Amino acid sequence: MAELTYREAVAAGIAQEMERDERVVFLGEDVAAAGGVFKTTVGLLEKFGPCRVRDTPISEQAIVGAAMGAAMTGLRPIAEIMFSDFFGVSWDMIANEIAKARYMCAGQLALPLVIRTANGSGSRFGAQHSQSVENWVMAVPGLKVVAPSNPADVKGLLAAAVRDPDPVIFFEHKGLYATKGEVPDGEHVDRLGTAKVLRQGSDVTIVALAAMVPRALQAAQRLEKEGISATVVDLRSLVPLDTKTLLVETKKTGRLYTVEENPRLCGWGAEIASIVAEEAFYDLDGPIVRITTPHVPLPAADELEDNTVPTVERIVETVRRTAG
């Protein structure tokens, strides 16, 4: 095991797959010579050269279009969109072309491509550079959606995404880039569509994603001191969604909480609440509770941003108030 930061795990995952398969190429703004604006791709240009690691113009449409064409002709591209907010610029290509190409040609071609992007709040970048948009992508049939919470999952899930025959949108959380964790040495490949139970409890089940996972774990530790035992589930993947783990862990405790950074309206937790209500209603001991960001543009001011997104304190208070 090696201890890596979340951002170092990104570079390690890309390098692992580029070494394994010469069809893997990487492109995006400032990803080569500069090593990425968040320093997630340092050393890749020196290791793999300018033919496979390419800086692009400032054009999200060009980046995504080039990746789609490369995938259609036999390569396995990894494309970087600097901020997930910029998906809006290339949304037609992602939602109407990449997501639907395999279906519309009856499977005659595959699109094995990964679009990596920096997602989420905490960096004081304001409303246009701090959104959590995984629910945008989750709503489009044909796209797989991954959002890791720790360095080991970054490397393993990124490798799985590169090897997948379908387009995968890979959300890296800006607020987690500096966090550290142990990452398996050598080749490390995880499996898409699998959640992880990080903590077992008997009273409530808390489901979280990306940067909300460490907050859920901290909240669970505080709740334990108050006599409330919490299971914590890291979703890791929204599409495919590990409904089996969600249902099993919810049935054990009878109470489900989702902790979501995306705005409340149409967030991923609403879909989970719908599934659990349909499949496990009579196993519930109380209403499903969603702990979310309000349906507002994210503020840039430190204190406002920190208190708009779910906090450890808000998770603890909500569970304490509603857990019966």
Tell me the average confidence (pLDDT) per consecutive run of 10 residues in the chain, 324 residues long: 96 98 98 97 97 97 97 97 97 97 93 97 93 96 98 98 98 97 96 98 98 98 98 98 98 98 97 98 98 95 94 98 91
pLDDT, position 1: 86
- Measured from the Cβ of residue 217, the count of other Cβ atoms closer than 10 Å reads 18
* SS3 label, residue 254: coil
Residue in the structure block whose two tokens are 């997501």: 99
Spatial CA neighbour of 16 closest among 194, 173, 163: 163
Spatial CA neighbour of 264 closest among 305, 296, 234, 288: 296
Q: Delimit the domains of the chain by residue range.
A: 2-183, 196-322
Query: What CATH code would you report for 2-183?
Result: 3.40.50.970
Q: Do domains 2-183 and 196-322 have the same CATH topology?
A: yes
DSSP state of 152: H
CA distance 142 to 73: 19
Q: Residues 129, 173, 188, 295: which is the catalytic one? A: 129
CA distance 70 to 65: 9
Is 129 an annotated catalytic residue?
Answer: yes
pLDDT, position 260: 98
* SS3 label, residue 243: helix
Q: Which fold has domain 196-322?
A: Rossmann fold (3.40.50)
pLDDT, position 231: 98
Please, what's the b/e burial string for 171-204 (b: 16 or more CB within 10 A of its CB; e: otherwise)?
bbbbbbbebebebeeeebbbebebbbebbebebb
pLDDT, position 123: 87
DSSP sequence for 180-227: EEEE-SS-----TT--EEEE--SSEEEEE-TTHHHHHHHHHHHHHHTT
pLDDT, position 324: 79
Spatial CA neighbour of 296 closest among 285, 305, 283: 305
CA distance 239 to 169: 10
Per the confidence metrics, is the pTM higher than 0.85?
Answer: yes
